[in-house]
Amino acid sequence: MSCGRTKAEAIVKNVLASRSVQDFINVLKDPAKSSNFFSIATDASNHKNRKIFPLVVRYFDPISGVKNRLLDFTEQADETANGTHNLIKFSLDTHKLDIKNLTSYCADNANVNYGQHNSVFKLLQEDNKNVLKANCSNHILHNATKHASDGLDVDIEMIILKIYGHFSVSAKRREELKSFFDLVDAELEIVRHVPTRWLTLASAVDRLIQNWLPIKSYFKRVNCCPKILKKHFSDKDPEKKCVIEAYLNFFSNIGAVLVQSAKILETANLTTMECYSVMQCVGNKIQQRIEDRFFGTATEKF
């Protein structure tokens, strides 16, 4: 049996989604199947001119372990602390989940969520004083990387964005670059870096290092390119020529540590205890590199 988009959407929204929610709520309310305790996570998401709030519940099932389930998906223009708090309360009340069983609140590290005074977390603590913070550790890694890279003598993020932007707007430039890749028998691929995404800068830097020879050859020979790129790629001073490569390899070495930690933090069944050990481990690794003055063999060579 087949059906069109409208009918399929109606089945998913009105039958499958509601049944899915009811199934895990029944588990949460049954002491024999669950501990009754749960945590919640939410984050405002823009869909064109609409503000969407997904609300996710996490709980422990003795039979199958940690579970993450979508409780609600609501459109709401008000993303203030009071608005988000009211949305959470309304969803919990609608599904008859007791806020006294709420263990923690998970969201990004914005002031509206975890500010000292009027925040969602403070308002939830007024309802349940035992609620714990479960703020995003990946956000901390992302911000640490971004702010630390701003202190480098070479603006790596800007160079990555400029290189991608130079080729993304012109098919002719991409074809010209392809000829340089063909000379070294390499496949043309430039990774896009999105500033708001977790550590995409590290993967973009790694790909740039892999394709450094054809990209460097291209920018040496073209005249029409951003001034900052021309400066880095056309400098005739042998010491200055390798500065950008040294910084790229330095960032790649440190970025590998951060990306490895970020992937662990993104796993669906991570617990608070594991989260603490991951953050402690990444801090120790970076501190050890500082003490040993080790920033990668490629960086040391340059």
* pLDDT tens track for 192-217: 787 777 678 888 898 888 888 888 88
| Predicted local confidence at residue 288, as pLDDT | 93
| Predicted local confidence at residue 198, as pLDDT | 66
Q: State which residues of the chain have pLDDT below 70.
A: 33-34, 198
In order of their start, the domains of the chain are 5-135 (3.30.420.40), 139-301 (no CATH)
CA distance 7 to 3: 6
CA distance 137 to 270: 12
| Predicted local confidence at residue 113, as pLDDT | 92
- Looking up tokens 């988009």 gives 5
Q: Which residues pair with 38 in a beta bridge?
A: 59, 102
Residue count of the chain, please give it.
302
Q: Which residues pair with 52 in a beta bridge?
A: 45, 75
Tens of pLDDT, residue by residue over 87-118, are 999 999 999 899 999 999 999 888 899 988 88
CA distance 90 to 17: 18
pTM of the entire structure? 0.75
Percent of the chain, pLDDT > 70? 97
| Predicted local confidence at residue 283, as pLDDT | 92
